[in-house]
Amino acid sequence: MKFNERYSVSSLSSSGLPVSSGRIFFTEKGVVDLSSVEVVGAFVDTVRQLFYGLPKESFVERLEQSISGGEDFFFLSAPPVNGLSGQVVRFHLSRMGKVSRYRYKLQNNELGLVILFGSYHDLMTNPNQHLKIELSPHFINSRTSAAVMAYLSFISAQLLVDYSAKGCAVHLACDYQNYSLPVDFLDRFSTHSRTIKTYDGVSSIDLSGLSESVTTYGSVNQERNYLIGKHQSVQLAIYDKSLEVIKSDKQDYFNHEWGVFSMGVHDPEKVTRRIELRFHHTVIREIGQGMGLALESFDKVVDYLTDIWRYGLKINRLKVSSTSDYFHPFWQFLMQDIEFTVPAQNIDVKRKKKDSVDPVARNISMLIGNLITLLARKGFNASQVMTQLRVLSVYSEIIDYYRSRGLNESDLRQAVEKGLALRRLIGKAA
């Protein structure tokens, strides 16, 4: 894909030479002027940090005692402030169902943290991916990346023995005013996604529960909103953020943030649209492997956010026309002008799955696949298959094989679940 030449009013009225910061784009279809577009925010919207380790027995006992006693609140120690320790933070405590994949949830919206603890994929007496901490925008934006990880590490040390950061998912968002996407957006859009579903008049704009490859919704008098891709990979969401903050009761926070970011340019009376790229932790891991880096924690990822943003827009791209080799000017503007935390390092981002260092990796993969097929025929579920895997003498080699690929036992469990579902759907379990 190619970039269009960019000009400014001043360069056109003087030298006639292109300038990298120009808002006037010369395309094969004509001139496009984006001078009126206002970017009112470029934020790390969400971080989901995963930790691997062994749950502390004493901490689990405290959780169970609180729940059995009908207590709604639970207290964790907070990092020392100005050298003063002894601070505590109050969380709302609840027990979770298996759908959530975690047993307990500790939530403090004022602080901006949701702690999910105790994986259902393994026993609490085994080390595993037992901790996921979800960070809100105001928690992230009020701290440096080092301070974020220091806070999360302080919490992890209270919950886990021998904890280690093992996976980081990030959502990057650009908020803008004074621009509407082309009405034939999908005709000009290029993506690996294949399914397109349209919903008109949807009342809620919460995108978190949707997983279709491409979903659009809206009404006759409303610009369409899009959800492209699946949450397990790279997902692109384009929607009316000013409407969403009303529904989520976050107007004061976002109007303040937009005003500060844009130095007062943001107009609360106008529609604010958002383009958001959501990168699953496996995608971030594979990007790191492509660069020869271990991108398992937020402080390691932060220096590459702008390059990761550009990668997401490159694989999900809007073109000048359906047959064009050029980026649409608005997409080019997003790729070249938007930065997150630090400028782009101009890295050619490529995803690469780490090659296994185990010489019998192929045999292990076949062993797992054949075992799933045999047990699927007998009606075993995922938990039962995992139990049968653990009694094998080569189970430690299976786990070593997964770890050599930057994965863990939770990833094996997910592979088992997917394998069982596929075999039942295509008839191999009959």
Q: What is the mean pLDDT of residues 125-131?
A: 92
pLDDT over 70 (residue 168): yes
The H or E element spanning position 304 is none
- Domain-embedded: residue 356: no
CA–CA separation, 343 vs 381, rounded Å?
48
Establish how many alpha carbons lie within 13 A of residue 57's alpha carbon, considering only the half-sphere containing its beta carbon. Answer: 2
**Is the residue at 293 inside a domain?**
yes
- Claim to verify: residue 165 and residue 197 sit in the same structural domain: no
264-292 pLDDT, tens per residue? 999 999 999 999 999 999 999 999 999 99
The number of residues in the chain equals 430
Burial zone of 372 (CB within 10 Å; 0-12 exposed, 13-18 middle, 19+ buried): buried
Beta strand 273-279 with 160-177: parallel, antiparallel or unpaired?
A: antiparallel
> Domain boundary at 304, 337, 370, which?
337
Between 210 and 421, the more confident residue is 421
Q: How many domains does the chain have?
A: 3
199 and 153 in a common domain: no
- Of 138, 169, 200, the domain-final residue: 169
CA nearest to 132, candidates 52, 228, 25, 187 = 52
Q: Give a yes or no: residue 355 inside a domain.
A: no
Q: What is the pLDDT of residues 336-395, one digit of tens each?
A: 999 998 888 888 898 887 655 555 567 888 889 899 999 988 889 999 999 999 888 788
The answer as to whether 230 is a domain residue is yes
**How far apart (Å, rounded) are the C-alpha atoms in residues 381 and 388?**
11
Asked if pLDDT for residue 252 goes beyond 60, the answer is: yes
Pairing of strands 5-7, 113-119: unpaired
Residues 178, 247: one domain? yes
Please indicate, yes or no, whether residues 181 and 163 belong to a single structural domain of this protein.
Answer: no
Q: Does 342 reside within a domain?
A: no
Q: Are residues 333 and 241 in the same domain?
A: yes
Q: Choose from 136-150, 189-203, 383-397 the range with maximum mean pLDDT.
A: 136-150
Question: In this structure, are 196 and 269 located in the same domain?
Answer: yes
Q: Are residues 59 and 22 in the same domain?
A: no
Q: Supply the mean pLDDT for the chain.
A: 88
**What CA–CA distance (Å, rounded) separates 310 from 51?**
27
**Range of 419's domain?**
361-426
Kindly tell me the burial class for residue 348, based on how many C-beta atoms sit within 10 Å of its own C-beta (0-12, 13-18, 19 or more): exposed
pLDDT band at 209 (very low <50, low <70, confident <90, very high): very low
3-class secondary-structure state, position 266: coil
Which pLDDT does position 201 carry in this prediction? 37
- Answer with the one of 151, 169, 187 that is the final residue of a domain: 169
Residues 175 and 38 both lie in one domain: yes
Whether residue 281 is found in the same domain as residue 371? no
Q: Cα 363–366–368 angle (5° rounding)?
A: 110
Can you point out the beta strands (E) in 178-209?
A: 189-190, 196-200
Return d(Cα 285, Cα 267) in angstroms, integer: 38
Do 150 and 224 lie in one domain? The reply is no
Q: For residue 419, is it within any domain? A: yes
- Is 222 part of any domain? yes
Write the pLDDT tens digit of every residue in 35-63.
Answer: 999 999 999 999 999 999 999 999 999 99
> Is 265 contained in some domain?
yes
Q: Residues 199, 326: one domain?
A: yes
Same structural domain for residues 192 and 319?
yes
